[in-house]
Amino acid sequence: DTGVSQDPRHKITKRGQNVTFRCDPISEHNRLYWYRQTLGQGPEFLTYFQNEAQLEKSRLLSDRFSAERPKGSFSTLEIQRTEQGDSAMYLCASRRAGTGGNEQYFGPGTRLTVT
């Protein structure tokens, strides 16, 4: 399967712990996006990369959140000192910039539960 993959699919952690999620985009896609989706809501943008450069960050991305894409391939999203409000589905999407349109292809998501 050559789609977007995310790991882990589920994560349960205690408040105050750090967590890290990984996203592997479709191989020829140079744009990578992170979204957060809470219950009953649509996905909300967090940040995105073009290759290894982080081009935009939402104000939703507090100082406890950091994202990297060191080699322009996979990306990681780290949440430090997790809070119960961080419980959500974290979605990764990718696309190839320069192609027509703006459709993004989503991974299955990582569901985070903070207890």
Instruction: Pick from 25, 36, 104, 112 the residue near other proteins by CB under 8 A.
Output: 104
Binding residues for other proteins, rule CB under 8 A, total: 28
**Under the criterion CB under 8 A, does residue 43 sit at the interface with other proteins?**
yes
- Cα 19 from Cα 48, distance rounded (Å): 19
Instruction: Pick from 35, 67, 94, 112 the residue near other proteins by CB under 8 A.
Output: 35
| Region from 11-19, 64-72, 73-81, 94-102 binding other proteins, contact rule CB under 8 A | 94-102
Q: How far is the CB of 58 from other proteins (least distance, A)?
A: 8
DSSP per residue over 46-75, as a string?
Answer: EEEEETTEEEEE-TTS-TTEEEE-TTSS-E
Structure tokens belonging to residue 105: 């292809």
Cβ-in-10-Å burial (0-12, 13-18, 19+) of 20 comes to: middle
Interface ranges with other proteins (CB under 8 A) = 4, 6, 33, 35, 40-45, 48, 56, 91, 93, 95, 97, 99-109, 111
